[in-house]
């Protein structure tokens, strides 16, 4: 096996990208195989429980040598635990510097201390292109600041399960933050909003970005009449690039629609 060309060995491992057990076996064949198998074994990392995070820390105590750099997708459902881990290990989350898809959500988003947890994710990976966030009863401003820290961000999904009116916290420097940034994301992918308290706060902020928004796809769920006019505003703003519009109404009967705008 050692006489095989490197390209052929890599190709063999790549063919097993969806098979965890064979990949683990390959990593035991030779040290030279470890790096290639890790690109697939750790392409997606999920921390949904305290136990999963503690297991990772025990297995890979040194963030600088952990396989975090191979992760392309990171899902976190226990941000407060991540906060504690980061404090113990020193910018532990920064080791995931090549993540392209970030998912944040979980019951702990109700708990106190989320401000510190989310601050850890600000710009942690410059490669992030997709963010999916699910929360309840948290200020929108924290999520708005978060998405501005990823210059390559294309796709944004925001799901708020709280039935009450949305909160916004301190957003007095939202526009100044956006104006001062030299690397604002262009938002050229998809925007999905399911906000039970209404889309007003988040849409107003997005429409105010100095570089504009250029989404190709909008997926919107209405929960109040005001969302209708906001949808029209989003469509108008994105009209030069918009290709697809999916709308569902959850406040007055059931309506779902799909609109193809460019071919």
Look at residue 157 in the predicted model and tell me its pLDDT.
95
Token look-up 């063919």 returns 15
Same domain, 36 and 52: no
Same domain, 160 and 236: yes
Report whether pLDDT(255) > 50: no
Query: Do the Cβ atoms of 38 and 70 come closer than 8 Å?
Result: yes
Put the strands of the sheet holding 130-135 in their side by side order: 44-47, 73-76, 101-105, 130-135, 155-160, 190-195, 217-222, 244-249, 255-260
Instruction: Give the residues across from 131 on adjacent strands.
Output: 102, 156
- 210: how many CB neighbours lie within 10 A of its CB? 9
Predicted model pTM: 0.83
Average pLDDT over residues 158-169: 64
Query: Do the Cβ atoms of 223 and 195 come closer than 8 Å?
Result: yes
pLDDT tens-digit series, residues 189-199: 999 999 887 88
* Most confident region among 52-61, 161-170, 250-259 by mean pLDDT: 52-61
Report whether pLDDT(263) > 50: no
Same domain, 161 and 55: no
Domain assignment of residue 30, yes or no: yes
End-to-end CA distance of the chain: 50
Domain assignment of residue 140, yes or no: no
Domain assignment of residue 51, yes or no: yes
Same domain, 162 and 261: yes
Number of domains the chain contains: 3
Same domain, 32 and 109: no
Burial track 246-257 (b if 16+ CB lie within 10 A, e otherwise): ebebeeeeeeee
Domain assignment of residue 196, yes or no: yes
Same domain, 18 and 66: no
Token look-up 């200020």 returns 139
Domain assignment of residue 139, yes or no: no
Full domain range(s) for residue 91 = 42-128
Same domain, 1 and 112: no
Query: Do the Cβ atoms of 230 and 203 come closer than 8 Å?
Result: yes
Domain assignment of residue 134, yes or no: no
pLDDT tens-digit series, residues 101-128: 999 886 555 555 566 677 788 899 999 9
More confident residue, 230 or 174: 230
Whats the size of the chain, residue-wise?
263
């Amino acid at each position: 096996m050692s006489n095989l060309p490197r390209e052929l060995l890599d190709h063999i491992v790549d063919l097993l990208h969806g098979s965890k057990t064979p990949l683990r076996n390959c990593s035991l064949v030779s040290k030279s195989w470890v790096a290639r198998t890790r690109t697939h074994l750790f392409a997606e990392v999920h921390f949904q429980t305290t136990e999963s995070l503690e297991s990772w820390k025990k297995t890979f105590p040194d963030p600088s040598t952990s396989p975090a750099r191979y992760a392309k997708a990171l899902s976190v459902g226990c941000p407060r635990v991540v906060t504690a881990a980061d404090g113990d290990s020193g910018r532990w989350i920064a080791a995931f510097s090549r993540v392209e898809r970030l998912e944040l959500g979980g019951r702990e988003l109700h708990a106190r201390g989320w401000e510190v947890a989310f601050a850890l994710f600000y710009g942690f990976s410059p490669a992030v292109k997709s963010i999916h966030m699910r929360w309840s009863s948290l200020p929108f401003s924290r999520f708005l600041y978060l998405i501005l820290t990823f210059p390559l961000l294309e796709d944004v999904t925001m799901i708020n399960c709280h039935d009450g009116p949305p909160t916004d916290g301190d957003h007095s420097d939202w526009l100044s933050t956006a104006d001062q940034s030299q690397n604002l994301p262009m938002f050229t992918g998809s925007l999905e909003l399911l906000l039970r308290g209404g889309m007003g706060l988040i849409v107003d902020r997005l429409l105010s970005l100095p570089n504009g928004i250029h989404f190709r796809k909008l997926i919107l769920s209405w929960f109040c009449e005001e969302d209708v006019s906001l949808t029209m505003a989003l469509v108008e703003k994105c009209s030069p690039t918009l290709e697809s519009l999916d709308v569902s109404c959850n406040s007055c009967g059931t309506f779902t629609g799909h609109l193809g705008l460019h071919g």
